[in-house]
Amino acid sequence: MSRDPEPRFARIAAMIADPTRARMLTHLLGSEHVTAGELARAAGITPQTASAHLSKLVDAALVAIRSQGRHRYFRLANGDIAHALEALSLVAESDASSTAAKDRWSTGAFRSLREARSCYGHLAGRLGVALHDALVERRALAHDGEAFRLTDEGRATLHTLGLDADTVKTSRRGIVYPCLDWSERRDHFAGPLAVALLSHFVDRRWLARVADSRAIEPTPIGRRALASLLGNALR
């Protein structure tokens, strides 16, 4: 009797299922390029063990290497992998309406991640959803078929924030596109504009990255600078 071939995602699923590699991949979701030592610390393992896991992740095309001089830096191989990891997180949080889940999200590191976090270069969490809603409400973006384009109102909004719209390149999926937030279960934005905005906010020191975490926090100057755009979301 013939058998159907094993689904190609089975090997990838097994690779992600390992708890140590899962911690490493999660850390990479919030960082563009990190060293093996940083990933070892994030996963709570020795550098030698991290190296063995990274070799498997690179061979599986989940992680890519960038060499600079004598140093090697690691990142997720592409955005599709980031979105797959976020989708798995969404499935894992399917009990989000339960009392236990609500309690979990209201304490410690979970609360910080829910408030705001980096997701493959763009802003996610409650603050990311608020940014999505603000851009839509201001009609900064127009939906043309399957893609968004930046409107004149959008260009004016970016100018007010000190970001030149002409520096943002459009990808094959558009300048931005919705990405379902796994903690909020509502859309935030991914794509070139979303990445440019988070980078701009961090460069301006309006938002600050929390050490050894994907969490992001608004700074006092950021609360003032972003108040007109995000309003009560900066509580």
pLDDT digit string, tens, across residues 72-108: 999 999 888 888 888 888 777 766 555 555 555 555 5
Among residues 41, 47, 50, the alpha carbon closest in space to that of 18 is found at: 50
Domain boundary among 77, 105, 130: 77
The residue with greater pLDDT, 208 or 93, is 208
Residue 65 counted as domain residue: yes
Range of the domain at 144: 97-234
pLDDT at 143 over 90: no
Same domain, 152 and 229: yes
Burial pattern 123-146, b for ≥16 Cβ within 10 A else e, equals bbbbbbbbbbbbbeeeebbeeeee
Let me know if residue 91 belongs to a domain: no
| Residue 1, domain member (yes or no) | no
185 assigned to some structural domain: yes
162-207 confidence digits (pLDDT tens):
999 999 988 888 899 988 888 888 999 999 999 999 999 999 999 9
* Tens-digit pLDDT profile for residues 121-136: 899 999 999 999 999 9
C-alpha span between 70 and 134 (Å, rounded): 44
Q: How many residues does the chain have?
A: 235
Q: Is 47 in the same domain as 122?
A: no
Give the CATH number of the domain where residue 41 resides.
1.10.10.10
Map residue 3 onto helix, strand or coil: coil
Please check whether residue 82 lies inside any domain of the structure: no
Residues 122 and 53 in one domain: no
pLDDT at 16: 92
pLDDT more than 70, % of the chain: 90
Return the pLDDT at 108: 59
Confidence at residue 232, expressed as pLDDT on a 0 to 100 scale: 79
The verdict on residue 2 lying in a domain is no
Best CA proximity match to 89, nearest among 192, 219, 181, 190: 181
Report pLDDT for 109. 63
Give yes or no: residues 140 and 27 share one domain.
Answer: no
Q: Is 27 found in the same domain as 138? A: no
Say if residue 176 is in the same domain as residue 221: yes
Structural domain count, the chain = 2
Asked if 49 and 138 sit in the same domain, the reply is: no
CB 151 within 8 A of CB 135: no
Residues 71, 142, single domain; the answer is: no
Helices (H), the chain: 9-17, 19-29, 36-43, 47-59, 79-92, 99-105, 108-115, 125-137, 152-161, 192-203, 220-225, 227-230
How many degrees, rounded to 5, is the angle at CA 199 between CA 194 and CA 205? 130
Give the mean pLDDT of the chain.
Answer: 87
Q: Assess if residue 214 is contained within a domain.
A: yes
Burial class (CB in 10 A: 0-12, 13-18, 19+), 88: middle
- Is 125:93 a contact under the CB 8 Å cutoff? no
Same domain, 21 and 71: yes
Is residue 119 assigned to a domain?
yes
Residue 58 — pLDDT band, cuts 50, 70, 90? very high
Confidence of residue 57 (pLDDT cuts 50, 70, 90): very high
Task: Report whether pLDDT(39) > 90.
Answer: yes
Q: Are residues 113 and 196 in the same domain?
A: yes
- Identify the pLDDT of residue 104: 58
* Domain termination site, one of 28, 49, 77: 77
Residues 71, 105 within the same domain: no
Same domain, 66 and 150: no
What are residue 123's phi and psi, to 5 degrees?
-85, 130
